Structure 1
């Protein structure tokens, strides 16, 4: 595979991953309620990136 094919593969995988993470984060915002400023931005972006782990921990805690 060439470098361009690897970049294309990363883009094709990253778009659905990011969209699912964004949807999951927007529907699970309770942990963001008391935050503001940089903490809110970092926590929001962390939730988008780490949604598989957060989904698993959300299921295990209920």
Structure 2
């Protein structure tokens, strides 16, 4: 078991492989965040200007936390 873990952790990645992995993880995360943010826009109604943009982008990035908070508040 420890040999397998050591083999996995000792694997060296190039920068391009690392960036590719981040992109493959980030695309689904961003799509889910965008869908969640588009369906939960009630908090944006009273905002204007740059506040709407910042709040919308923040909800895309923080959608897992906001989902948990939404469940706990209702």
TM-score by length of 2: 0.82
Are residue 6 (structure 1) and residue 6 (structure 2) matched? Answer: no
Deviations 1:8-58 (A, max 9, x none): 001001100000000000000000111111000000000000000000000
- The runs of 5 or more residues in structure 1 that have no matched partner are none
- The runs of 5 or more residues in structure 2 that have no matched partner are 1-12
Q: How many residues align?
A: 62
Alignment of 1:1-62 (within 5 A): 1-62=13-74
Q: Which has the higher contact order (CA 8 A, sep 6+)?
A: 1
Moved over 4 A (4+): none
Deviation, 1:4, is: 0.4
Of structures 1 and 2, the larger Rg is shown by: 2
* SS class of match (1:42): helix
- CA RMSD across the alignment: 0.4
